[in-house]
Each structure stands twice: as C-alpha cells, then as structure tokens.
Structure 1
Amino acid sequence: MPTTSSRLLALLSLLQSRRDWPGEVLAERLDVTSRTVRRDIDRLRELGYRIATFKGPDGGYRLDAGTQLPPMLFDDEQAVALAIALQIASGSGAGTGEAALRALSTVRQVMPPRLRHRVDALSVTAVRPPTDGEDVDPAVLQQIGAVVHAGEVLRFDYGDGDGPVRRAEPHHVASWRGRWYLVGWDLDREDWRTYRVDRVRPRIPNGPRFAPRELPGGDLTTFLTGRFRGNEGSTRWPCEGEAILELPVDEVRPFIGDGLATPVDNRRTRVVLGSWSWPALVASLLRFDADLEVIGPPELAAAVEEVGRRCARAAG
C-alpha cells in the first residue's frame, strides 16, 4: 500500500492528465477503495486544488482552474521540457526575459538532483538576431492575443501613429527571427498583411466579431515563410540554384545559412542555395570570394552574366 503522500501525488498526476475521471476508475488505477479516493480528493482540495464532482452513472472528478496557483506536479520529461522552454523564452523578445529567468530559477531549485543535472547539461542560450526594434510590451502582446482569441476586429495605430486608424481581422501572433508579428486580414486593403507587434498600438473598443479566413498556403508556417521569402503559398525560395565553389567544405558550411553544402573533393564544394531573385542568388554565391562553376538552372547562368556586365560597367 503506498503512503498517503505518494498516493496524493499519483492521484494529482492522473487528474492533470485528462479532463474527467470516473471515481471507480481512479480507485482501480490507484489500487484503493472509492472511499479512500474521496478522502484523498478532500485533502487535495484543502491544499488549494479546485476539484469538481460530476454526477451520473460514471460520476467522478474533474480538476478545474482556480483563483490561485496551487502546487503543480510534472513528470520528468515535462519538467525538463519546461526548463528548456523557459531558457528559450528569456531571449524571445516578448519583454518577459527577466520573468522567464526567475521562473527557471524557481523550477530548477525544486528539481531533484537527477533532473537538475539533465537541465544543466542541456543549457540553452537563446540569441536574438540584431533588430531595429525594441522588445514587445507584454501588455500589448497579451491584449492582441486576447483579440485574436475573441475573434474580433482589431483597431490600432501603426508606426508613428500619424496615419489613419488601421482595421484588421487578427488571425495569429507569431515570432519570426527575433521579432513578433501579427498576421491579419487588412479590411481597408482587402489583403493579408503582417504587422510588427512592437509598432502596433491597439485602440479601444474592438470591432465586431468576424468569421476566420483560410491563410494562403493553408497554415501559418507556409504563409510566413512564403511572405518573407517572396514566394507566397510555399516554403521554398522562388529562385534556387546549384554551383561549385573553389573552397573546402569546412570554409563554406558556417556561412551557407539554410543552403546545402557537400564536398566534391578536398578543395571544392557543391552548394545549393535559394534567394528571392536570381541576381540576389548570384550575390550570395559571390560573397564567398572564390571562383565558381554554375551547375544550373539556366536562369542562374544568365544572372551571373548580367551581374558580370553590371560590375564591369561600374568598375569602368
């Protein structure tokens, strides 16, 4: 027979794993009587957990949200995942970095040694790329998130605020390369737009409710990737080419970004790169400061010739 404390932890873990639990099923899982389950439920209520009782043939219990944050129970994998997520959140640019680090310190302090060692071994440093904007105000981020959740039109000033009040159907709040964006349907321009959250100042009251629209590409990842790569509805670059650089692969890989680098021999590297235009792709290849051989497609070879002519004119 397990001790009362270990049995309470096991009961709490079960209640957190799904919404409704019939009393008889709980008793069977814990290998105790229904009467013991009722007593343990009362003990958890005394500790601050709001546990509702529901009636019916399979009457049982449900763990509800309360007005205060009671002690929470995590299994080993959940605790490690939470610690890693807090490390990443400290550099998310959402204005909650200090709070995330305090929460991480609190979680780590109460971890058993075996989990603390795992978390320390998986120490993560979230590095934000340099941006020309400030961290997002958490209050603004929460306000926009609430409007997205409510499905109401967002009225807001954008940028320096000198322009007209903007109106958009907000669909998603997303983080992309160190910045936070609002993805919405602009009602005045009748098109999808991405707005930097650090430039959004919501107005009150909100507009009416709206029916959600389908994003181009079908999902947020495809939409954002296509929008920032200049290839709507796709995660691929609109221009992709292949070439051989007269450089060892170890001198190429650190600077290839999301491209592919494979060795041809000990002094040459085959690269596959993408960009928003063919001249931009040529520029990406030339930044390696090495001789190159174009493999294809023909559009890349033509762009190399055109860029060469432009450079010759500029030098002349």
Structure 2
Amino acid sequence: MLETSARLLELLSLLQVKRDWTSSELSDRLDVSTRTVRTDIGKLRSLGYPVDARPGVMGGYRLGAGTTMPPLLLDGDEAVAVAVGLGAVATRRLGVEETSLTALAKLEQVLPSHLRRRVEAVREATSAVPSADPPLDLAALGAVATAIRGHERFRFGYTKRDGGEGARHVEPQRLVSWGPLWYLLAWDLDRDDWRVFRVDRMTPHAPTGARFRPRMIPEDLVVEHVVERVSTAAWKYRARLLVHASAAEFAAKVVPIPVDIEVVDESTCLVEMGSDDPHLLALWLTQFDVDIEVIEGDELAVAFGRLATRFRRAAGNASAT
C-alpha cells in the first residue's frame, strides 16, 4: 500500500488522465477503501485542487477548473514535450517570448537530470528559421474569444490598412486562424453587414455586457467567407486573364486563394484576380506553368514585359539553345 504522500500524487495523476472516476474505481487502483479515497480527495481540495464530486450509487470524482491554477503533475514524456514546446514558442515572434522563457525556467529548475538531458538533445538537433510574423496579442485574442463564447457585443479600436484609426461595435461570430494571423468574423452593427477584422489590429474596449442572439451562418462557410474577404476585398489592383487551362485545373492550382473563374471551353477559362501590386501578381502567376493572356489590366501586361526581359537576361545564351 502506498504511503499517504505517494498515494496523493498517484490519485492526482489518475484524476488528470481521465475525465470521471467512480469511488470504487479509485479504491481499486490505489488499493485502499472508498473511505480513504474520500479522505484523500479532501486533502487534495485543501491543497487547492478543485475536485468535483457526483453523489449517488454511480457517483464519483472529476478534476474541475478552479479560480487559481494548482500545481500540474506531468510524467517524463509530458515534461519534455512542454519544455521543448515552450522553447520553440520563445524563439518566434508571437508576443509571448518573455512569458514562455519564464515558464521554461521554472520547469527546467525542477526537471530531473535525465529529462533535462533529453530536452537539451532535442534543442541541439533542431534549428528554426527566424520569423517576421507580427506579434500575437494574447490579451486581445482572449477578449475576442470570451465575447464570442458569451454571445456578448464587442467594442474595440481598429487600425485600418491605411493606418487610419476607428472604433467598431460588433456581434462577434467566429475566430479564424490563417497562417500567422487571426481574423474575427463579426456582424458590424454600424454597417449592418458581415465584416472581417484582423485581431492584431484590434484594441479591445471594456466589456459591454450586452448579449445578442448569434446570427446563423453555416460552419463550413465561415472559413470560406473570411478567406474571400481577406483575399479579394483588399485588392487594390484587378486584372482579367485568359488562362489556357481548364477551369478545374486552374482552380486546383490557386487553392485556397478565391478567384472568379469563368469556363470558356474544356481547355481555357477567364479569370479575374488581383493584388496590391501588379508586379507581384505577375511574379506569382509565373509559378503555375500555364499560358496566360492579359485581357484587361495594362499594368499587369507591363509587369509581365519587365519580367520577360529579366528572365531573358538571366537565361543569357541558354535562350538560343
């Protein structure tokens, strides 16, 4: 039979790996009476662990969420995974580098030597490319998520693409992660329409406390709506192209960027797309290995001409073979 302190650690470990335990299941695993289980549960509660109890014949125990976070019990593999993960986060521009390093220092202070060596081995065997991603404001992200979960109207300051400042009042619907950025899909109360906002450009105001009934939008359309708004609504420059490939073939090449594709025949299609810069659009289109004719968009045609000159110059004498 385990000593009391060891038994408490074993009990805590069991509660952390399974959602619900009956009193008899715990007594069997710990080789003690159900009365001792109740006593040990009381000791865990006195240490700050919020253990919920369900009464009745089939009643039992569950580790719940508390107002403060109690110590977390990790096995060796879990401790190594957390340490490696914190180290990886600390090397990226996510806005939580300092917090990650503080948590990592606390964890490494109590890691046994053999686990510390495993963490060091992983670090020495891996490399990371520095990221230029914008920092992630966890406070803003948390405020948005809380408003969505509570169906609460949300006010925030917003920095536009041109640098202008404004205030928004919305009914937040869903958060969508795309690459390094987070976007909020919300019903804009001032504009009476759906809008998409970048979370890193938001400054949350105090909670409004005003509840709302969520508007119905199919889950499978949420991401599609955000991608479409982000990709196409922000275009400063648009062009119309004749693409010598089937509509299905070209659509597969440009996924997930939404473009307007019109079927001409089995081997050609008309495409409307855009960008902030005609040169960047021309450069991007060269990677698809299809013949393209510019129907509308003189700036794009000029950009293709400049690229052609550069490509010929880069090819040198190879162009004659």
For this structure pair, what is the TM-score category when the shorter chain's length is used for normalisation? 0.5 to 0.7
Equivalent residue, structure 1, for 2:313: none
Equivalent residue, structure 1, for 2:104: 104
Q: Which has the higher helix share?
A: 2
Query: Counterpart of 1:172 in 2: which secondary structure?
Result: strand
The one of 184, 187, 192 equivalent to 2:186 is 184
- Does the CA-based 8 Å contact 1:238-1:277 persist in structure 2? no
1:122-161 superposed matches below 5 A? 122-123=122-123, 125=128, 127-129=130-132, 131=134, 135=135, 137-159=137-159
Cα distance in 1 for partners of 2:57, 2:132 equals 57
Cα distance in 1 for partners of 2:223, 2:83 equals 25
TM-score normalized by the length of structure 2: 0.64
Cα distance in 1 for partners of 2:305, 2:48 equals 76
Q: Which string of whole-angstrom CA distances, capped at 9 and with x for unpartnered residues, describes residues 174-199 of structure 1? A: 55444443332223334432223343
| CA positional deviation for 1:99 | 0.9
Equivalent residue, structure 2, for 1:13: 13
Query: Counterpart of 1:218 in 2: which secondary structure?
Result: helix
- Does the CA-based 8 Å contact 2:93-2:133 persist in structure 1? no
| CA positional deviation for 1:78 | 3.4
Provide the identity percentage.
39
The one of 254, 276, 293 equivalent to 1:302 is 293
1:184-203 superposed matches below 5 A? 184-203=186-205
Alpha-carbon distance change, 33 to 118 in structure 1, aligned in 2, over 3 angstroms: same
Cα distance in 2 for partners of 1:120, 1:204 equals 43
- Does the CA-based 8 Å contact 1:54-1:61 persist in structure 2? yes
1:156-305 superposed matches below 5 A? 156-159=156-159, 165-204=167-206, 206=208, 208-213=210-215, 218=220, 222-230=224-232, 236-238=256-258, 277=274, 282-284=282-284, 295-296=289-290, 300-303=291-294
Provide structure 1 residue ranges, at least 5 long, that are not aligned to the other structure: 241-274, 289-293
| CA positional deviation for 1:56 | 0.9
Task: Give the letter for the 2:256 counterpart.
Answer: R
- Does the CA-based 8 Å contact 1:157-1:165 persist in structure 2? yes
Task: Give the letter for the 2:195 counterpart.
Answer: R
| CA positional deviation for 1:73 | 0.9
Provide structure 2 residue ranges, at least 5 long, that are not aligned to the other structure: 234-253, 261-271, 310-321
- Does the CA-based 8 Å contact 2:94-2:133 persist in structure 1? no
Alpha-carbon distance change, 80 to 183 in structure 1, aligned in 2, over 3 angstroms: farther
Equivalent residue, structure 2, for 1:56: 56
Q: How many residues align?
A: 267
- Does the CA-based 8 Å contact 1:185-1:193 persist in structure 2? yes
Cα distance in 2 for partners of 1:214, 1:193 equals 15
Q: Which string of whole-angstrom CA distances, capped at 9 and with x for unpartnered residues, describes residues 177-226 of structure 1? A: 44443332223334432223343233345263223345576166555445
| CA positional deviation for 1:311 | 5.2
| CA positional deviation for 1:12 | 0.8
- Does the CA-based 8 Å contact 2:157-2:165 persist in structure 1? yes
1:29 is aligned to 2:29: yes
Q: CA RMSD in A?
A: 4.1
- Does the CA-based 8 Å contact 1:128-1:177 persist in structure 2? no
Equivalent residue, structure 2, for 1:268: none
Task: Give the letter for the 1:167 counterpart.
Answer: H
Q: Which string of whole-angstrom CA distances, capped at 9 and with x for unpartnered residues, describes residues 18-72 of structure 1? A: 4432211111223332233233323323433233433211233232333443221
Query: Counterpart of 1:167 in 2: which secondary structure?
Result: strand
| CA positional deviation for 1:100 | 1.4
- Does the CA-based 8 Å contact 2:154-2:172 persist in structure 1? yes
